[in-house]
A = this chain, B = another copy of it.
Amino acid sequence: MHANVKQNVVPLITPGLKVACSQCNLRELCLPFGLSDDDMGRLDHLIGGGRKLKRGHYLYRAGDPFESIFAVRSGFFKTDVLTEDGRDQVTGFQMAGEILGMDGIGTEVHTCNAVALEDSEVCLIPFTELEMLSSEIHSLQHHLHKVMSREIVRDHGVMMLLGTMRAEERLAAFLLNLSQRFSARGYSPAEFHLRMTREEIGSYLGLKLETVSRAFSRFQDEGLISVQQKHIRIVDIPRLKTLLAPTDGRIG
């Protein structure tokens, strides 16, 4: 089998963590966005508590019955799809405030795996109950739709990346995306720790790990970033951005 994340087979999750949207500093990034205090209280009621996951453990696996979606409270996840013939595609990396598990709604079964890339915590949001509550709270319903729609738009961005960009462009886009998301969470946009391996980055970007590694090295040689294993410092964000708008074949 592929050098997949870890050797554990059972999704070792620890129940019983007390959580409340109304107390959560991620609420503006997450599902309760825009709710009144009153409605937020009703959402608190519904959240099925939290779960802690150790690094390498699965939040869910392809084939698991779908019951809940999850909000990342802390930590870092990847989702990937594994086909019968051994193909493995990382479909995303999720960090605090982001929602996981919406792939399972359509089939009632999860269609990808979600793995913690570091020790993490999630909130469990039972989906049937979320639907019930969202038919009473219009803003919750609408926000759920927005979250799903944004996931579709994000996927389109990945298709664009995979379909039209070259290796270095893909990596630049990836770094800038991480930078922006860390920044939105109050962390440095210029300096961060990668939670995933070169192979996982490569899988996400449709490249082999060696190609990812070489692109990192090239960026470093050109003074765009500084890399030390998983530690990244972006030295020149503007110039990194120009890598994405290449030959300047502009129109108007």
Q: Which residues of A contact B (CB under 8 A)?
A: 1, 81, 83-89, 91, 102-107, 111-112, 131-132, 134-136, 138, 141-142, 144-153, 155-160, 162-165, 203-206, 244-246, 248-251
What residues of B have a CB within 8 angstroms of the CB of A105 in the complex? 145-146, 148-149
> Interface SS of chain A: helix, strand, loop or mixed?
helix
What residues of B have a CB within 8 angstroms of the CB of A148 in the complex? 102, 105-106, 145, 148-149, 152
Chain B residue with the shortest CB-CB distance to A204: B163
Can you name 25 A-B pairs with beta carbons within 8 Å? A81-B156, A81-B157, A81-B159, A84-B245, A85-B246, A85-B249, A86-B249, A88-B164, A89-B156, A89-B163, A89-B164, A91-B156, A102-B152, A105-B145, A105-B146, A105-B148, A106-B145, A106-B148, A106-B149, A106-B153, A107-B150, A107-B153, A131-B142, A134-B135, A144-B145
Cβ of B206 and Cβ of A147 under 8 Å apart? no
What residues of B have a CB within 8 angstroms of the CB of A249 in the complex? 85-86
* Docked complex Cα distance between A188 and B159 (Å): 29
Cβ of B91 and Cβ of A244 under 8 Å apart? no
Cβ of A1 and Cβ of B251 under 8 Å apart? yes
Cβ of A135 and Cβ of B146 under 8 Å apart? no
What residues of B have a CB within 8 angstroms of the CB of A165 in the complex? 87
Distance between A52 CB and nearest chain B CB, rounded to angstroms: 26
> Known contacts A86-B249, A89-B163, A160-B87; is A152 also within 8 Å of B152 by CB?
yes
Cβ of A206 and Cβ of B89 under 8 Å apart? no
Query: Could you say how many copies of this chain the assembly holds?
Result: 2
Cβ of B81 and Cβ of A160 under 8 Å apart? yes
Distance between A47 CB and nearest chain B CB, rounded to angstroms: 18
> Known contacts A131-B142, A142-B131, A145-B131; is A111 also within 8 Å of B153 by CB?
yes
Chain B residue with the shortest CB-CB distance to A203: B163
Cβ of A164 and Cβ of B104 under 8 Å apart? no
What residues of B have a CB within 8 angstroms of the CB of A245 in the complex? 84-85
Cβ of B111 and Cβ of A160 under 8 Å apart? no
Known pairs A81-B160, A106-B148, A106-B150 / 8 extra A-B pairs, C-beta < 8 Å: A81-B156, A86-B250, A103-B156, A106-B152, A107-B150, A158-B159, A159-B162, A164-B206
